[in-house]
Structure 1
């Protein structure tokens, strides 16, 4: 269990970073930092010209470990999860070489942060992508969902918590290729990684930095801005109630919005 890095035989210049936190890959605080460290290390290794980010288990990523958050006294786990996600998302984006996300099953919450910051995405036919943040008493990763779908669709998905499938993302150009099953997912990701890794390693690293430099949105600053509203919801006591309901699997009545008049 944890995060591991391998170099598959016959795929020169390619590293595979695998996330394994069964059963659903809901990462604890330490897991997000472990993932960030693995991605940064893979990018620093001069032998690597491309990285494939994949996962074991029932789905690619289910976001943060809410049970860990709720059984930890105070705000340490909340702050740790926010900072850990921030670092892991940034590590994908800032990895010195291109990162290909290989997604199967569910990709939710923090998974969107990872995939949205990747350079390319391949996915299985049954892969689903979404942000159930409002149902979990949180906000965030709209920055990254907006890199996968058009703006108005992003808002509707965000407000409703609904998911979108791999085939639809393929139509938007967000998913490079759709594999019929998990057995062929890694092969599809490695095929793209091999095509990238065939290029000059020095030029690839320059290209990654250059492409990040011309992005219209600063993903670090944008996501940090979103996180501020998560903290506000926690200070109001809204978040704990929704997380408790999630842990106990009990539905919670929606809360009316606050008026900001006179504030």
Structure 2
């Protein structure tokens, strides 16, 4: 359980997240993921990173149970900072990052894949931001990198999800494959990328990030301020208590 890194082929690092039962990450999980991504990107032997997950789904976001059982606001602050660090670590990774997504990709999962360079998904993958049902706000910045603006808003307001095939039609998912072929398909793309010169790949990543029209770090940090407001006012607790958590419904 936790975050692990393997090297299945030359030039490729596979970072796997495993927090049963649904990969809802605790505070230390987000920081561990950020550290693994930074380490892989800084390794001169690595030319491409595959971000994968074990279990039923790719990511169910923040461990809300940790927030609810921790008195005060330390867990909330930790989760917000941890998500910020993990999302930034994907975006700022010195080499391209491929997200290999299966099952549900919710909340913080959208932050991860929205910052990735490429997405390969299983045919059972679904993507969404149930933040309003959780009494939270955030990651619209990253959902907007996956779908057009008006669809992003509709998905955000309704907490609906979209399928991997729908995202492929929008151009944000590279391939959709059966679940048992997911990691192989992601690694196949990674091998193609890793065949390029490592120094040139790092320059390309920096150049592409430099021409982004939206500063994703600043944009997400702005969103986080409204999550704090909802929590400090007590609104978030009222919504979560009334609705329950995705982790409870998935488990």
Output the CA distance in 2 between the equivalents of 1:57 and 1:78: 25
Q: Match for residue 158 of structure 2? A: 160
Secondary structure at the counterpart of residue 167 of structure 1: helix
TM-score by length of 2: 0.96
- The alpha carbon displacement at 1:33 in A equals 0.2
Aligned to 1:148, which of 146, 149, 153?
146
Match of residue 175, structure 2, among 170, 174, 177: 177
Corresponding residue of 1:83: 81
Please report the TM-score for the alignment, with normalisation by the length of structure 1.
Answer: 0.92
**Distance apart, 1:243 and its partner CA:** 2.4
With over 3 angstroms needed to count, the CA separation of the structure-2 counterparts of 1:196 and 1:239, relative to structure 1, is same
RMSD, aligned α-carbons:
1.0
1:188 equivalent in alignment to 2:176:
no
1:7 aligns with 2:7: yes
Answer whether contact 1:51 1:100 (CA < 8 A) is retained.
yes
Say if 2:64 and 2:245, in contact at 8 Å, map to a contact too. no
Long gaps (5+) in structure 1: 250-263
Partner of 2:106: 108
Give the structure 2 partner of residue 23 of structure 1.
21
Q: What's the counterpart of residue 210 of structure 1?
A: 207
**Tell me, what secondary structure is at the counterpart of 2:213?**
coil
Unaligned runs of 5+ in 2: 247-251
8 Å Cα contact 1:66-1:247 kept in structure 2 = no
SS in 1 for 2:146: coil
Residue 40 of structure 1 is matched in structure 2 by 38
1:235 equivalent to 2:232? Answer yes
Aligned CA distance change for structure 1 residues 209 and 248 (closer, same or farther; 3 Å): closer
State how many pairs are aligned: 246
On the 8 A contact 1:108/1:132 being kept in 2, the answer is yes
Q: What is the CA–CA distance in structure 1 between the aligned matches of 2:243 and 2:104, rounded to whole Å? A: 17
Asked if 2 retains the 8 angstrom alpha-carbon contact of 1:92 and 1:118, the reply is: yes
Instruction: Tell me the secondary structure at the aligned position of residue 100 of structure 2.
Output: strand
Distance in 2 (CA, whole Å) between partners of 1:15 and 1:235 is 40
Matched residues in 2 for 1:208 and 1:149: separation? 22
Runs of 4+ aligned structure 1 residues displaced above 4 Å come to 246-249
Give me the whole-angstrom Cα distance separating, in 2, the residues matched to 1:221 and 1:60. Answer: 25
